[in-house]
């Protein structure tokens, strides 16, 4: 059936946080699209605001490494968001045991992730929900950041964010300590977790609760000291932890190159003020040294 006299609905692609996602054909262009249907009306007002925020943000974000919002319209009490159709996502790639990821492939996926983020951060937009299933992959192998539903301007006067926005395993330590004023560093930490996941082929820090998540972080990197992270003690949920020494990072990533390990450690810096920025990460020698990042159209993808 045709929606808005333009889109031919096909099968259901999946169920998201706010509603169903359909595959559809744009009869104006012949292009395959993904339509996210968001229930409005009787729902809590928050859903409306979240959706409207997402639209406004997404419409302003146009970049090769960002999923494009093609159209947005209300239809039968639902808000429809039309996105370019993406074949798969990074989680499916990482999980697929038939896929071998070379160091050049990993480099390419990380570079595309950081390029999309760098574009957003330049526009003062945080993603805030970086995780492998939000990194979609198109038919040409391009990786694009999706799901800006939780993203929000961080230069605005209303800077007190809720801190429970992240999938726990990708959450930065400042969020786990209850920080209400945080910045682009939260996306860098999450990207580091994704980098680690590409190297290990499994989620790196799998906490079963927020407390356990901090425990997993501390056993990987050692408990942060006040000299490493001076502002830590002022965070709302800060509590003193028993000292844990850091094992050599090398022991956790035996197969990583020295360049990869150096960049990873700079992205996993405790103090968000000292953490490497996305732009600096892109300029790290990891990306200019051999092997160079694979061409996106030559990257391995699920069959
Ligand atoms: P969530 O809100 O849980 O993060 P989404 O609403 O983003 O989930 O998406 C739900 C499902 O729809 C995803 O698992 C994915 O399979 C599919 N999907 C979302 N966006 C696209 C897209 N642009 N192209 C193809 N499939 C998509």
Shortest-distance Cα residue to atom 9 of ligand 1: 16
How much is the pTM?
A: 0.90
Longest dimension (CA), the chain: 63
Residue 246, phi then psi, degrees to nearest 5: -85, 130
C-beta 136 within 6 A of ligand 1? yes
3-state secondary structure of 20: strand
d(CA 283, CA 260): 13
* Radius of gyration (C-alpha) of the chain in whole angstroms: 20
Measured over the CA atoms of residue 255, residue 257, residue 262 and residue 267, the dihedral's sign is negative
pLDDT at 155 over 60: no
| 83 Cβ below 6 A of ligand 1 | yes
CA of 16 from ligand 1 middle (Å) equals: 6
**Tokens 């259901």 appear where?**
12
Cα–Cα distance measured from residue 291 to residue 33, given in angstroms and rounded to the nearest whole number:
35
Cα 14 to averaged position of ligand 1 atoms, centre (Å): 6
In the predicted model, what is the mean pLDDT of the chain? Answer: 89
Q: Whose CA is nearest to atom 25 of ligand 1?
A: 86
Our separate counts of H helices and E strands in the chain read 10, 11
Cis amide bond preceding 243, omega within 30:
no
Ligand 1 center–CA 276 separation, angstroms:
30
* pLDDT value of residue 73: 84
Q: Residue 85 C-alpha to ligand 1 middle, in angstroms?
A: 10
Indicate the range of 57-66, 95-104, 151-160, 189-198 predicted with least confidence. 151-160
pLDDT tier at 167, thresholds 50, 70, 90: confident
The residue annotated as part of the active site, out of 26, 105, 129, 187, is 129
- For 80-94, letters b (16+ CB in 10 Å) and e give bbbbbbbeebbbbbb
| Residue 129 annotated among the catalytic residues of the structure | yes
Fill in the DSSP letter of residue 293: P
Nearest CA to ligand 1 atom 6: 16
pLDDT-based confidence at residue 19 (cuts at 50, 70, 90): confident
Return the axis-axis angle of helices 185-200 and 258-267, rounded to nearest 10°: 150
């Amino acid at each position: 059936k045709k929606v808005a006299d333009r889109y031919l609905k096909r099968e259901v692609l999946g169920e998201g946080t706010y509603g169903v996602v359909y595959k559809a054909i744009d009869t104006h262009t012949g292009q395959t699209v993904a339509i996210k249907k968001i229930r409005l009306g009787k729902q809590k007002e928050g859903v409306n605001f979240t959706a409207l925020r997402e639209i406004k943000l997404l419409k302003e974000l146009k970049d090769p490494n960002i999923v494009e919002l093609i159209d947005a319209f209300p239809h039968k009490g639902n808000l429809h968001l039309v996105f370019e159709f993406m074949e798969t996502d990074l989680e499916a790639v990482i999980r697929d045991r038939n896929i071998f990821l070379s160091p050049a492939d990993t480099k390419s996926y990380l570079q595309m992730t950081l390029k999309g983020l760098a574009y957003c951060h330049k526009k003062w937009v945080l993603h805030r929900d970086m995780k492998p299933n939000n990194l979609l992959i198109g038919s040409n192998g391009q990786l694009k950041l999706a799901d800006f539903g939780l993203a929000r301007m961080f230069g605005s006067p209303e800077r007190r964010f809720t801190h429970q926005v992240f999938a726990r395993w990708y959450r930065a330590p400042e969020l786990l300590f209850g920080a209400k004023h945080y910045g682009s560093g939260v996306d860098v930490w999450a990207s580091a977790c994704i980098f680690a996941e590409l190297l290990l082929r499994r989620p790196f820090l799998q906490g079963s609760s927020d407390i356990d998540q901090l425990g997993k972080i501390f056993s990987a990197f050692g408990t942060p000291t006040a000299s490493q992270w001076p502002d830590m003690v002022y965070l709302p949920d800060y509590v003193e932890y028993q000292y844990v020494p850091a094992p050599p990072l090398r022991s956790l990533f035996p197969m990583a190159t020295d360049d990869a390990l150096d960049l990873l450690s700079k992205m996993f810096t405790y103090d968000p003020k000292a953490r490497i920025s996305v732009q600096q990460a892109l300029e790290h020698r990891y990306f200019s040294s051999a092997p160079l990042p694979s061409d996106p159209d030559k990257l391995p993808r699920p069959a």
